[in-house]
């Protein structure tokens, strides 16, 4: 249904070769720990994103004459950083910037499929706005409006700098998916909500959060998220590595389960579930989950 437009190298990597691109394979195989190495908490995430990632980016963007999202992407992802990625059940290498460009193009393809002109698009956990800002600038989405909501103030500040007062971006502000209150943003019923690599950072996808999203009457809710529950299909060796990587990094392991509980109660229905589509991080590929309220 959805395809990845990626001019990837014809030679894939073996798992042994993959270990040249990630210190994690050795860590995973040697770890006997029954506890995560990197515990996630609100404080650790505020440190990781608010200070280290988006905080550093904000300082760099403030020194840039014309802050642009492509410049922000280059500052975060390049230049000349070769990295491994996962696609079609194989591992490859490419420039990190190009891997993320292919991922952005995939996100846009899915969002274009589910949206109509004039639909409002809500990006929850938008980071520095990379995906939505790019989306808002291409003709396919020229008639859509956007809300970019993010957990960290430096992320919000980056979005404000990069959005250059675009007319189609109607809300930029804070949100916390662990304690969701976005009523102040006045989001229209029938909006499309999406998350990309955000639920993964949370301890769980809370029932109260899912219910609050349902109460906002979305047209569709689209998740581009790693789903631990899908790390058990074919390819048992890769699945083992992905499960252990997810555990050691304390990423969410119950995203799909949280939603299937709502499905079992006939509160939502899935439109699409595609496991393990792509891994910008080869040890944690994302799946596509699309649902809507019943």
- The C-alpha atoms of residue 228 and residue 240 are separated, in whole angstroms, by 10
Instruction: Tell me: does residue 131 bind ligand SAM (CB under 6 A).
Output: yes
Instruction: Tell me: does residue 197 bind ligand SAM (CB under 6 A).
Output: yes
Place of tokens 């760099």: 60
- The C-alpha atoms of residue 145 and residue 203 are separated, in whole angstroms, by 30
Residue range at the interface with ligand SAM (CB under 6 A); choices 57-65, 72-80, 173-181, 271-279: 173-181
Question: Site for ligand SAM (CB under 6 A): which residue of 155, 218, 226, 282?
Answer: 155
Contact 83, 94 (CB under 8 A): yes
CB closer to ligand SAM out of 130 and 276: 130
- The C-alpha atoms of residue 130 and residue 73 are separated, in whole angstroms, by 7
CB closer to ligand SAM out of 17 and 181: 181
Contact 205, 270 (CB under 8 A): no
How many other CB atoms are found less than 10 A from the CB of residue 214? 17
Residue range at the interface with ligand SAM (CB under 6 A); choices 30-38, 193-201, 252-260, 269-277: 193-201
Question: Site for ligand SAM (CB under 6 A): which residue of 28, 77, 99, 177?
Answer: 177
| Torsion angle of the four alpha carbons 256, 259, 260, 266, in this order, in degrees rounded to the nearest 10 | -160
Instruction: Tell me: does residue 156 bind ligand SAM (CB under 6 A).
Output: no
Binders of ligand SAM among 56-115, rule CB under 6 A?
none
Angle between helices 153-162 and 69-77 (to 10 degrees): 130
Residue range at the interface with ligand SAM (CB under 6 A); choices 83-91, 169-177, 252-260, 281-289: 169-177
Residue range at the interface with ligand SAM (CB under 6 A); choices 30-38, 160-168, 192-200, 259-267: 192-200
- The C-alpha atoms of residue 272 and residue 251 are separated, in whole angstroms, by 23
Question: Site for ligand SAM (CB under 6 A): which residue of 76, 175, 241, 256?
Answer: 175
- The C-alpha atoms of residue 126 and residue 268 are separated, in whole angstroms, by 24
Residues at the site binding ligand SAM, with contacts judged by CB under 6 A: 45, 49, 125-127, 130-131, 150-152, 155, 175-178, 196-198, 201-202
């Amino acid at each position: 249904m959805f395809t990845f437009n990626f001019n990837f190298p014809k030679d894939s990597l073996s798992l042994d070769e993959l270990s040249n691109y990630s210190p994690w394979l050795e860590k995973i195989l040697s770890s006997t720990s029954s506890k995560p190495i990197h515990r996630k908490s609100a404080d650790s995430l505020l440190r990781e994103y608010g200070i280290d990632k988006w905080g550093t980016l904000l300082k760099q963007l403030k020194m840039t004459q014309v802050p642009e999202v492509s410049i922000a992407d280059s500052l975060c992802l390049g230049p000349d950083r070769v990295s491994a990625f996962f696609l079609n059940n194989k591992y490859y290498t490419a420039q990190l910037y190009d891997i993320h460009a292919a991922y952005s193009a995939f996100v846009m393809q899915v969002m274009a499929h589910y949206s109509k002109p004039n639909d409002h698009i809500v990006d929850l956990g938008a980071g520095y706005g990379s995906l939505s800002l790019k989306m808002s600038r291409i003709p396919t989405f020229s008639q859509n409006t956007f809300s970019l909501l993010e957990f960290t103030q430096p992320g919000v500040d980056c979005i404000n700098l990069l959005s250059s007062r675009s007319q189609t971006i109607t809300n930029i502000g804070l949100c916390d998916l662990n304690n969701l209150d976005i009523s102040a943003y006045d989001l229209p019923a029938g909006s499309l909500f999406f998350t990309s690599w955000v639920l993964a950072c949370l301890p769980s996808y809370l029932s109260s959060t899912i219910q609050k999203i349902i109460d906002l009457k979305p047209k569709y809710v689209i998740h581009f998220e790693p789903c631990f529950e899908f790390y058990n299909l074919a390819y048992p060796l890769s699945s083992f590595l992905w499960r252990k990587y997810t555990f050691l990094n304390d990423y969410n392991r119950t995203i799909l389960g949280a939603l299937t509980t709502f499905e079992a109660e006939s509160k939502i229905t899935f439109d699409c579930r595609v496991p393990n589509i792509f891994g910008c991080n080869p040890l944690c590929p994302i799946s596509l989950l699309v649902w809507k309220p019943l």
